[in-house]
Amino acid sequence: MYTLSLHARIADIAAGDWDACAGDDHPFVSHAFLSALEESGSASARTGWLPQHAVLRDEAGAIVGVAPLYAKSHSYGEYVFDHGWADAFERAGGRYYPKLQCAVPFSPVPGPRLLARTPTHRDALVSALIRAGEDLDVSSVHVTFCPREEQEALAAQGFLPRLGMQFHWSNAGYATFDDFLGTLASRKRKAIRKERARAVEGLRIRPLRGAEITARHWDAFHRFYRSTVDKRWGQAYLTRRFWPMLGERLGERVVLMWAEEPDGTPVAGALNLLGRDTLYGRSWGAAREVPFLHFELCYYRAIDFAIAHGVARVEAGAQGQHKVSRGYLPVPTYSAHWIAPRGLRDAVDAFLARERPAVLRQIEAIAAEASPYREVAAQD
């Protein structure tokens, strides 16, 4: 009933067809975002992210499902780490790469990956991804940072489920930032107020959206991005051309928290994308070290924005237990992994069976023991 085709450019798929399957809740899986990655040279064979976007058609030829899919020659830029699996398999004489990765490149942002019109089409898309992995003779197919319901659909067809952890802030209907602070233990409130006061000394900080973000801002932000990458010994996947493309194509959904000197000299920036009910933290960088400025731009200004605009959640990126004391609590993230070689699959399955309960225990322990909120804080 269905046929699957793989496409080396998202431009080969009409934006209307893609977005009809993707919906408008999550900007990271929009045709606009993914095409900006490709056309800017950021997601490409050169960077090890070769597009192989999946398109599922019904018997009438109508597109009923799509998935952002890449052939990967490494495991960087994914944030769900399988380096150990690759190393073990290759030491045993296997070939782990290339693999297929259903993901948003360089973005550890939870959201839909199986972009289908109905649950039936979603299940057909899962089957088609398995067939693609078999036909291409790859070691594995990975679907990362998907919703729980997608993980369950993938697991029903043989994918191995995996849990991770991020730290998200939830808006309990606060009218002001002080309302949010009022829910915290007193020492946490005091610490945050001190951090915010230190961060803004001598700086002008404001959110910029859409047309407010000019070429001058993008030039500076790219310098910030490269500086951050250099400090962390990473690879600068995102090119200078990506940022203005992003701004042009996503418009008001781009929110840039911006810090500058009184004379207008750029100091730091934190890039966010706005979904229907969530503000997603994306990238951060600075021209110089300023105490607590990272927390101010990435966490507190994001909360300010969410409160002012009635946004339900802030997802401030991967990792970082330091976010807990600033109101961001641990939540599980989900991925699923189809492993073709039987020996590797059995080993990964056994590993994940041990890892999943450990991750859940860690989430529960952090929420109970480190939460800054008064109702679960040890003392006020």
* pLDDT greater than 90 at residue 228: no
How much is the pLDDT for 143? 98
How much is the pLDDT for 14? 98
* pLDDT greater than 80 at residue 234: no
Q: 3-class SS at 265?
A: coil
Q: Write out pLDDT tens, residues 121-160.
A: 999 999 999 999 999 999 999 999 999 999 999 999 999 9
Domains within the chain, CATH numbers bracketed: 3-165+331-368 (3.40.630.30), 172-311 (3.40.630.30)
Q: What are the contacts of 36-40 at 24+ separation with CB within 8 A?
A: 36/242, 36/245, 36/246, 36/249, 37/105, 37/242, 38/9, 38/10, 38/11, 39/11, 39/241, 39/245, 40/238, 40/239, 40/241, 40/242, 40/245
How much is the pLDDT for 229? 78
How much is the pLDDT for 119? 97
Q: Write out pLDDT tens, residues 275-293.
A: 999 999 989 999 999 999 9
How much is the pLDDT for 233? 58
* pLDDT greater than 90 at residue 70: yes
Q: Could you give the dihedral angle defined by the CA atoms of residues 38, 267, 271 and 236, in that order, rounded to the nearest 10 degrees?
A: 30
How much is the pLDDT for 317? 78
* pLDDT greater than 70 at residue 380: no
Question: What is the spatial distance between Cα 338 and Cα 203, in angstroms, rounded to a whole number?
Answer: 49
Q: Write out pLDDT tens, residues 181-203.
A: 999 999 999 999 999 999 999 99
How much is the pLDDT for 110? 95
* pLDDT greater than 50 at residue 270: yes
Pairing of strands 63-67, 69-72: unpaired
Please give the mean pLDDT across all residues of the chain: 95
